[in-house]
Amino acid sequence: MKQNTIKRIGRSDFVNMGPIRLRQPFPKQSIDMIDPFILLHHYGPYKISEEHNPFDLGPHPHRGFEPVTFLVQGEQLHRDSLGNESIVKAGDVQWTTAGRGIVHAEAPTKAFVKKGGYIEGIQLWLNLPAEKKMIPANYQHEKHEDFRRVVSEDGKVEIKVISGELNGTYGRISTQTSVNAFMIEAKEGGIFDIPINKTHQSLIYLLKGKTKINTEILELDKNQLIEFNQDGEGFRIETLEDSLLLFLSGEPLNEEVATYGPYVMNTQTELMEAMRDYQMGKMGFLPAN
């Protein structure tokens, strides 16, 4: 297998988002976006208790993209203006297609806050092409035990195929565009070759541990993200200690991007229309809990 060369290696520095402090590998000055991926946030682990609960995100809107949450630790309650209400647990994935508009809220469940514990996860913003930005909103919640998996011959690398395809195993999430999303859990000494679609932009992000990717080492608090060039057939993982990684690849849209707050559109005019439509209630309603 001809390995993809590395385009960029990035840190995952902390930024402040209101009361929340989280890691933001992109966008930032050196990496604007990795088309079709607009934003990646790694939040937590936060210690949640009745005295301290900063991760209570009340009702807020989205339009024009797909906010995706990969929950690593904890328990979150999702509610939205489509009438969905679900408890997302560690290992689960919620894949929201905002489309023309949705209002949703996320927070640790009351039971989780009462008993206390840690919340940690990834939020990804996946762009929608112009032709699909105004499709009806949709919500998918897949439980960790239901995902299809690929396991290395030595049993040390287990890959949860969330969307797309890996070695003939297909993810359960339905996507609007060509996107692969794999959560990789690897024990020390694990080795696995992951193919990359030649038309995809791709990246791998380290959530914990220490891993060698081709010839580069990813380590927490140092370099945590690798973006690949589109010049090979895949890459090799060699885990130097127990690790958890997220792999993403997608067909680039190569379209103009205009963002403001919770909206991702193609033009400033469309952003103004999104703000107006939300104020007029066209994205639906969700009462505070």
Q: How many domains does the chain have?
A: 1
For residue 289, what pLDDT band results from cuts at 50, 70 and 90? Answer: low
Domain coverage including residue 222: 6-279
On whether residue 289 sits in a domain, the answer given is no
For residue 80, what pLDDT band results from cuts at 50, 70 and 90? Answer: very high
For residue 29, what pLDDT band results from cuts at 50, 70 and 90? Answer: confident
pLDDT at 194 over 90: yes
pLDDT at 280 over 90: yes
Angstrom distance (rounded) from CA 41 to CA 24:
5
Share the mean pLDDT of the chain: 95
Ranking 28-37, 85-94, 169-178, 232-241 by mean pLDDT, the lowest is 28-37
On whether residue 91 sits in a domain, the answer given is yes
- For the residues 22-44, what does the mean pLDDT come to? 92
On whether residue 230 sits in a domain, the answer given is yes
pLDDT digits (tens, 9 = 90+) for 137-163: 999 999 999 999 999 999 999 999 999
On whether residue 155 sits in a domain, the answer given is yes
On whether residue 46 sits in a domain, the answer given is yes
pTM for this predicted structure: 0.96
On whether residue 102 sits in a domain, the answer given is yes
- For the residues 201-209, what does the mean pLDDT come to? 98
pLDDT digits (tens, 9 = 90+) for 50-75: 988 878 888 999 999 999 999 999 99
For the chain, percent of residues with pLDDT exceeding 90: 89
Return the sign of the alpha-carbon dihedral for residues 105, 110, 111, 114: positive
On whether residue 39 sits in a domain, the answer given is yes
On whether residue 42 sits in a domain, the answer given is yes
Task: State the CATH number of the domain containing residue 260.
Answer: 2.60.120.10
- For the residues 220-244, what does the mean pLDDT come to? 96
Single out the residue of 122, 182, 97 nearest to residue 148, CA to CA.
182
pLDDT at 22 over 70: yes
* The pLDDT value given to residue 17: 82
- For the residues 236-260, what does the mean pLDDT come to? 97
